């Protein structure tokens, strides 16, 4: 092992320590990249020039505009109560099914995911909308929060998805192709969740309902909606999905242009529904700026770190090591997924991708893997981390949004366990059958 490789691998180990101690991921990536190049080249000026050049190159592309546009769209959709309307319609459709409110939550989350792309937004919205309804109709608190947490991950799989946009940047792949590849896996995961809820409701009712609760007609006390009323409630969501995603798939406009169209339509819908005043609009803009700057800073520092790794020769070293070990494609995928799942217990989704992909993408390319399929596998594996302790970002979002002392973090993590297991099974299916991800391409 050469000095250069030793420096880069040492930086990786130190990175995990610093992140675990609470230092921001982007700061860690930038700092270690600077120090790494300094040690490799023995020249601080070269290290400083690398920082400047990488920062400039990382944000030079107009594709970067897709991030703030889809984030803005997601926040406006949440303000417009489109998620609440989708839940009410889904509740009507599944009112006669035992466990119907859980299925309705998954279905509404799938619709909401198709116009937001942010799992945390889904978790916050449906904690306020779905959890009180499920508790009201006799569902256990643990199951109620588990369904919301589990189905919230659909926001990062069903397009548009911020993680898929991030992967597209890091792997130099088409964001539109990533969106297309996420449709079937996203629907498959949603159906798997629904099937799991129904099985739990009939086979282990005590895990779903409190004693004496959970009548099949979970919306029995609610006024029935006509088909026209349901269509009217779903109209804005369907309009956004058809115009934005349909425009991408039909080739009418790029992902960046779709984000602009979606943001404009979401703004118009929020205004027409009178859900948006000056203060709320300013709050949405500020939150959009915070998310965009955070993601942009991460991408810039990841670009710097990737260059440091390439300069050290570490990717080539890892390729040669794995080739000599004779692991093959599935051996590599098994190691990769294990690392991602392990990191998911301590850091957030974007950080996992930023740490792992610069090292793993060269190996995947050498093994001639389809990079779009590899991206879908990556997103699903990374998203499992949203549900696993001790970090589990979606769990913390639900806890803070619910603000109910009766429901602790332990209860939420226990409630999400079945959904994390279902997600892992779907991940194995996607690995075993790559066509599930590539069938629409």
In a 10 Å sphere around its CB, with 0-12 CB exposed, 13-18 middle and 19+ buried, how is residue 43 labelled?
Answer: exposed
DSSP string, 389-406: TTT-HHHHHHHHHH--TT
Domain that holds residue 237: 3-438
Other Cβ atoms closer than 10 A to 212: 7
Sequence-separated (6 or more) residues with CB below 8 Å from residue 435: none
Please tell me the predicted confidence (pLDDT) of residue 378.
94
Whole-angstrom distance, CA of residue 156 vs CA of residue 153: 6
Sign of the torsion formed by the C-alpha atoms of 80, 242, 118 and 25: negative
Please tell me the predicted confidence (pLDDT) of residue 222.
58
Taking 70 as the pLDDT cut, the residues of the chain under it are: 1, 58-64, 211-223, 323
**Could you say which DSSP state residue 241 is in?**
I
Please tell me the predicted confidence (pLDDT) of residue 220.
47
* Angstrom distances, CA of residue 374 to CA of 44, 181, 261: 36, 10, 29
Whole-angstrom distance, CA of residue 9 vs CA of residue 47: 18
What are 401's two structure tokens? 């949004």
Please tell me the predicted confidence (pLDDT) of residue 212.
52
**Are the C-beta atoms of residues 165 and 175 closer than 8 Å to each other?**
yes
Sequence-separated (6 or more) residues with CB below 8 Å from residue 267: 76, 276
What's the alpha-carbon Rg for the chain, to the nearest Å?
22
Please tell me the predicted confidence (pLDDT) of residue 216.
47
Please tell me the predicted confidence (pLDDT) of residue 182.
92
Please tell me the predicted confidence (pLDDT) of residue 181.
93
Q: C-alpha 258: how far from its chain's center?
A: 19
Q: Is the peptide bond before 390 cis (omega within 30 degrees of 0)?
A: yes
* Angstrom distances, CA of residue 34 to CA of 11, 47, 49, 166, 306: 11, 5, 10, 22, 12
**Could you say which DSSP state residue 244 is in?**
I
Residue 404 has phi, psi (to 5 degrees) of: -120, 115
- What is the chain's mean pLDDT, rounded? 83
pTM of the model: 0.82
How many structural domains compose the chain?
1
Looking at 137-174, list the stretches that DSSP marks H as alpha helix, in order from N- to C-terminal side.
Answer: 141-152, 162-171
Q: C-alpha 96: how far from its chain's center?
A: 31
What are 379's two structure tokens? 């997103």
Please tell me the predicted confidence (pLDDT) of residue 374.
96
**Are the C-beta atoms of residues 432 and 168 closer than 8 Å to each other?**
no
């Amino acid at each position: 092992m050469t000095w250069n490789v030793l420096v880069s691998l040492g930086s990786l180990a130190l990175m995990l320590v610093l992140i675990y101690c609470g230092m921001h991921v982007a700061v860690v990536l930038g700092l270690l990249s600077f120090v790494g190049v300094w040690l490799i080249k023995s020249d601080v000026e070269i290290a400083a020039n690398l920082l400047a050049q990488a920062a400039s190159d990382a944000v030079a592309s107009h594709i970067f505009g897709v991030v703030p546009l889809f984030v803005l769209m997601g926040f406006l959709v949440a303000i417009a109560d489109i998620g609440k309307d989708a839940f009410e319609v889904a509740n009507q459709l599944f009112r006669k099914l035992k466990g119907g409110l859980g299925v309705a939550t998954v279905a509404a989350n799938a619709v909401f995911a198709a116009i937001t792309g942010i799992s945390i937004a889904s978790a916050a919205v449906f904690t306020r909308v779905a959890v009180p309804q499920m508790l009201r109709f006799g569902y256990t608190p643990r199951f109620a929060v588990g369904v919301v947490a589990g189905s919230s991950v659909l926001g990062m799989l069903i397009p548009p998805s911020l993680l898929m946009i991030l992967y597209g940047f890091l792997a130099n792949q088409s964001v539109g192709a990533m969106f297309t590849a996420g449709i079937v896996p996203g629907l498959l995961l949603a159906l798997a969740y629904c099937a799991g809820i129904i099985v739990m409701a009939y086979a282990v009712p005590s895990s779903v309902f409190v004693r004496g609760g959970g009548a099949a007609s979970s919306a029995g006390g609610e006024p029935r909606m006509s088909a026209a009323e349901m269509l009217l409630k779903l109209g804005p969501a369907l309009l956004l999905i058809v115009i934005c995603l349909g425009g991408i798939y039909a080739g009418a406009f790029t992902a960046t242009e779709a984000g602009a169209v979606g943001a404009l339509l979401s703004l118009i819908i929020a205004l027409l529904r009178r859900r948006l005043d000056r203060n709320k609009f300013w709050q949405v803009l500020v939150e959009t700026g915070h998310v965009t700057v955070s993601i942009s800073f991460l991408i810039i520092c990841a670009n710097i770190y990737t260059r440091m790794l390439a300069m050290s020769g570490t990717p080539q070293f890892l390729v040669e090591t794995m080739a000599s070990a004779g692991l093959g494609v599935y051996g590599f995928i098994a190691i990769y997924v294990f690392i991602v799942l392990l990191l998911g217990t301590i850091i957030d989704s974007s950080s996992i991708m930023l740490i792992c992909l610069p090292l793993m993408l060269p190996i995947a390319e050498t093994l001639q893997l389809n990079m779009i399929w590899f991206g879908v596998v990556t997103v699903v594996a990374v998203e499992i981390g949203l549900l696993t302790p001790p970090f589990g970002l979606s769990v913390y979002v639900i806890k803070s949004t619910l603000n109910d002392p009766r429901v602790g973090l332990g209860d939420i993590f226990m409630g999400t366990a079945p959904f994390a297991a279902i997600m892992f099974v779907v991940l194995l299916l996607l690995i075993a059958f790559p066509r599930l991800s590539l069938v629409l391409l």
